[in-house]
Amino acid sequence: MNPIVVALLSVAALSILIIVHELGHFFVAKKMGIWVEEFGIGLPPRIFGKKIGETIFSINAIPLGGFVRLHGETNESEVTDTGRAFVNKSFLPRILVILAGVVMNFVFGVACFALVYSVLGIPRETQNVKIVEVATGSPAQISGLLVGDIVRNVDKKVVVSSEEFIKAVEEKKGKKIVLEIEREVDGKPATQKITTAPRETPPENEGPLGVAISTTEIYFPPIWQRPFVGAYYGLGQAIELGKVIVLGLGGIAKDASQGKLSAGLVGPVGLVALLAFFVKTGVMPLVNFLGLISINFAILNIVPFPPLDGSRILTIVMEKLMGKKIVPKVESIMHTVGMILLLALTLLITIREIPKLITAGTLTGFVEQLIK
């Protein structure tokens, strides 16, 4: 694929996540009776704009993401319609508008995972120890074991998990063993016995027999059930991923407190490289990766650090507790300082990533470094 096309598709994919986030703010603001002055695709300066109803829908020059401009979003002095200004709304409507972007990113992530499960199938654990790979020249290949064989027992010892199989083989290293396997012959399952000898000193990255095994299988529910089953498993994956991200943020915060830049941080260069890699890999891997980024966006945005959504939520909560509004100038300074710190962090990560990209020599090599 042409590198320019890959780059454009990568930017478009990232923009989708940002636009989804802004759509959350847009729809809930409308529902709460707040005047949405503008919904923009891309970032200013504006190239084209059309007013539909009371909202300007614009196309902007910088082709990355989008934005929503709410009436009276931060400054009461600019309000011309007091009843429909964001700053004049009560506690709950403002909280819901801010949270809407986070929720939309989370829902979008779940939808991405659900689509992947619906198309590629649902993984589930079984009691079938299936051979999924056979190493060349290994005892397994020499004895005639094939990919797809299911090992039922090892020397008459029944195995129903990977752990049981590995333990049974390890105990017999250097000796002959008999595997009872189930293999499909002429479309029907048939049982066979195969004699082999696990190695005492296998090559690096190979086990005694030279096989890779799995007890996970992929199944496909009836077509009408797939969206619902996919959504169920997608939600589960999003929740588990969310837990991992929260723990990761804790590690990043700990490193930051010690004056270190966490190795797990990925900046703009790394993110675009990852997107480009998955664009080239295929549609479903890209959709799955977009789901992962979307969940990341959702969780990162609720961190109470200016200018993220979590900071705005914290400000609204503080106003509720104090019974008075925070001085706009103070809030503006907080957002400015936060933005400067975020930009500085982004610059530091970028400075770290560019030499790695040059050293790697290829996009694939750089991505492999990132995901280690």
Residue 168 contacts residue 154 (beta carbons within 8 Å): yes
Domain 123-219: give its CATH architecture. Roll (2.30)
pLDDT value of residue 343: 79
Give residue for tokens 């996009």. 363
Give the residue among 25, 174, 5 at the shortest CA–CA distance from 101.
25
pLDDT value of residue 80: 85
Taking only the tens place, the pLDDT of each residue in 310-336 is 988 998 898 888 888 776 677 778 878
Q: Domain limits of the chain?
A: 3-35+71-120+226-370, 123-219
How many other CB atoms are found less than 10 A from the CB of residue 331?
19
- How many residues are there in the chain? 372
Pairing assessment for the beta strands 177-185 and 188-196 based on DSSP bridges: antiparallel
Average pLDDT of every residue of the chain: 87
Termini Cα distance of the chain: 25
Residue 127 contacts residue 244 (beta carbons within 8 Å): no
pLDDT value of residue 331: 73
Could you tell me the CA-to-CA distances from 29 to 36, 65, 74, 304 in Å, in that order? 7, 19, 14, 21
Higher pLDDT, 253 or 48: 48
Taking only the tens place, the pLDDT of each residue in 227-252 is 899 999 999 999 998 888 888 877 77
Taking only the tens place, the pLDDT of each residue in 63-93 is 888 999 999 887 676 788 888 999 889 999 9
